[in-house]
Chains A and B, each alone.
Chain A
């Protein structure tokens, strides 16, 4: 990471850092500060934030590079440094050739002016000559699909129309290096296809493209390489799939940690009696935990994994009229599945003192999403001893984009395809290797 990047790259960053100062309050700044340091020193409260730190990168000519990372990871700052809009605090940024930045589409549109007038002004702003704009005007308007309204003021445009016009002008600039910030989500499906086609065309013509996006699918489809930034630091760079995989693993880990913290908070609330809990407490649920196949407590699962639900109880007096139950709900309240020991005919005998009931789910075949768990212990007639409702959160992560509530075990067959060696595809294999693409 500290070695110097190759010199022939289209875009080069050498140990680049960007620091923002956080201003606070209205302390008086001295005019001297303003001139000596080029910025007001007195307004500066002493806090600073490195949006980027020590980033060394090189993008070869003709490659399309995706920049991924969570919010606030420095992606947009990186793009603005490449576009020359911001200057690096440390290090050097080198971009060879004409740069066009699709950072904010339609930046500089004047709402009172017509689409036609704004095309002329914006085109010149982006570096086209007036002759070039006149020549390409019809193509721009046609690409944006705005022929009928081009002579209306842009304040009457929908935000989609606004963006489409901005995109159409920006891609007309014909840059050597194209910087794109989250614009693939612009407009409707048809326009998105046009955008993607335009980007492919740029790629085919050997232009270098840098794309910042949260749409990992889009990055994966379009980009040759990816860069993962996390809190201003370069985490990984390389082939797209590899980098996205590492990024997702990290996201899952962070999420798991967050859900673990959430679970502890709920347990504290349950103990303190402030949680969503009711019942007469002849039998108490003292602890509810989810564990994976290896017996580790965990709250994020891949679809199809083993999951065991552990219900620890304390019976304050010996009782034989006891039913344990669980219920799984989607975040929006839809019941996914519920059962109890009575329904399943599992006999518990007489309970006394402390103990634990375990429900083992061999395959947690839920689709990607966030879920809540109910746990309850009650009498056979429904009288609640201890009912914990929608308290325990867990998540299922899956890269399979199936829909519905649960993933039913299935396989696809094609009985007419001759021998069955390649004719069947077991869905379980696909879900078991959820990381495969």
Chain B
């Protein structure tokens, strides 16, 4: 595994050029071009604001910017996985005919979406300022959150990309799984609305809040909201959970990918 990681470093030029190609290809031929990477989350946010702030009257101040803070990392996560799952199947010609470590492809998906998110950060800052939120010194934790999310997403992306070659159902399951996960993350609602525990009947009480943060993406999103929106430190226990999940995801994802590596060129 160490050897493979060194390999990845050796191929950094390739990774970088593929990331650039990915980003450029995304909006090639469209009139507004790169503006779409801002417009997409913006439009999505406006839809949610309409539903939750105007129709359902969620009683929260500066709801729009809160929502936007959680939406950006979520979009990075979900579009990375959505793209990575199909990337090896979709790059059949490359995988079958050119010798290079195929794990580069899902990693490129994750990195390209990361760059996309980083490019949206100025927009987020503008929003925060416009709504009177002044981001404070807690922003120093941003790189930590980015690294954790990168590791977590990359691990999952590797596993999904390789598995999807053998079982094309993975792509379908993923689509539905992501919708479920979206609502299990504190994006549309603040964590404070999640009850600490839930009584099921008289006997059984479910400790809902701890269970809720078994989901590492929830922890991550909360982390971003803490440092950007609330101006506090990340919740360290939740972040510990995220770290654990990220490491497990990366090792596990790499292991899965490595197991299936030799069969990829045959099955694509």
The answer on a CB contact under 8 Å between B14 and A86 is no
Residue on B nearest A84 in the bound complex, by CB: B99
Contact residues in A for B21 (Cβ distance below 8 Å): 110, 113, 117, 121
Let me know if B97 and A125 touch, CB within 8 A: no
**CA distance in complex: A126, B99 (Å):** 8
A104 contacts the other chain (Cβ, under 8 Å)? yes
In the bound complex, CA of A293 to CA of B13 (Å):
69
When distances are taken between beta carbons in the complex, the residues of chain B under 8 Å from A108 are: 91, 93-94, 97-98
Set of chain B residues within 8 Å of A117, measured between Cβ atoms: 21, 24
Q: What mask results when residues 31 to 52 of chain A are scored 1 for a CB within 8 Å of chain B, else 0?
A: 0001100111001000000000
Contact between A35 and B94, CB atoms less than 8 A apart: no
A265 cross-chain contacts in B, Cβ below 8 A? none
The one of A20, A104, A110 that contacts B266, using a Cβ cutoff of 8 Å: A20
A99: chain B residues at CB < 8 Å are 99
- Is A417's beta carbon under 8 Å from chain B? no
Task: Mark interface residues in B246-268 (1 if CB within 8 Å of A CB, else 0).
Answer: 00000000001001101101110
CA of A80 to CA of B14 in the docked complex: distance in angstroms? 22
Question: Chain B: which residue is nearest A100 at the CB level?
Answer: B99
**How far does the alpha carbon of A108 sit from the alpha carbon of B98 in the complex, in Å?**
8
Nearest opposing residue in chain A for B95, CB measure: A85
Select which of A20, A83, A121 is within 8 A of B18 by beta carbon. A121
Contact present for A107 and B25 (CB under 8 Å): no
CA distance A103 to B94 in the complex (A): 11
Residues of A contacting B24 in the complex (Cβ-Cβ under 8 angstroms): 113, 117
A contact residues around B99 at 8 Å (CB) = 83-85, 99, 101
- B235 proximal to A (CB < 8 A): no
B13 close to A129 (CB less than 8 A)? yes
**B89 at interface by CB-CB < 8 Å:** no
Residue B152 interfacial (CB < 8 Å)? no
Considering only residues 74-125 of chain B, those with a C-beta below 8 Å from chain A are: 91, 93-94, 96-100
- CB of A281 closer than 8 Å to a CB of B: no
In the complex, per-residue mask of A95-136: 1 if CB is within 8 Å of any chain B CB, else 0: 000010101100110101100010011001111011000000
Q: How far is the CB of B31 from chain A (nearest CB, A)?
A: 15
Complex Cα spacing A39 to B163, Å: 10
Q: A29 at interface (Cβ–Cβ under 8 A)? A: yes
Which B residues are in CB contact (< 8 Å) with A407? none
User: Does A101 contact B94, Cβ atoms closer than 8 Å?
Assistant: no
CA distance A120 to B100 in the complex (A): 16
Interface size, chain B (Cβ < 8 Å): 28
A397 interfacial by beta-carbon distance below 8 Å: no
A61 interface contact, C-beta 8 A = no
B29 at the interface (CB under 8 A from A): yes
Interface size of A in residues (CB-CB distance below 8 Å): 32
Is B166 interfacial (CB-CB < 8 Å)? Answer: yes
Q: Does A87 contact B (CB under 8 A)?
A: yes
- Which chain B residue has the least Cβ–Cβ distance from A83? B99
Q: Are B17 and A29 in contact (CB under 8 A)?
A: no
- With A35-B256, A112-B28, A130-B13 in contact, is A107–B97 under 8 Å at CB? yes
Q: With A and B bound together, what is the CA distance between A35 and B14 in angstroms?
A: 29
Within 8 A of B (CB), among A5-50: 20, 29, 34-35, 38-40, 43
Q: Are A87 and B166 in contact (CB under 8 A)?
A: no
Identify A104's interface contact among B13, B91, B97, B263, CB under 8 A: B97
Is B167 in contact with chain A by the CB < 8 A criterion? Answer: yes
Report yes or no: B259 in contact with A112, Cβ–Cβ below 8 A.
no
Q: Which of A35, A107, A112 lies in contact with B98, CB distance below 8 A?
A: A107
Per the bound structure, the CA–CA distance linking A113 and B21 in Å amounts to 9
List the A residue with the shortest CB-CB distance to B99: A84
Cβ of B210 to closest chain A Cβ, rounded Å: 29
- Some 28 contacts from A to B, beta carbons below 8 A apart, are A29-B166, A34-B163, A34-B167, A39-B260, A40-B166, A80-B265, A83-B99, A85-B265, A86-B265, A87-B262, A99-B99, A101-B98, A103-B97, A104-B93, A107-B94, A107-B97, A107-B98, A108-B93, A108-B98, A110-B21, A112-B28, A113-B25, A113-B28, A117-B21, A121-B18, A121-B21, A124-B13, A125-B100
Q: Using CB atoms and an 8 Å cutoff, list the residues of chain A in contact with chain B.
A: 20, 29, 34-35, 38-40, 43, 80, 83-87, 99, 101, 103-104, 107-108, 110, 112-113, 117, 120-121, 124-127, 129-130
Q: Could you list which residues of chain B lie within 8 angstroms of chain A, going by C-beta atoms?
A: 13-14, 17-18, 21, 24-25, 28-29, 91, 93-94, 96-100, 163, 166-167, 256, 259-260, 262-263, 265-267
Name the 8 nearest CB pairs between A and B, nearest first. Answer: A107-B97, A104-B97, A107-B93, A108-B94, A87-B262, A39-B263, A124-B14, A112-B28
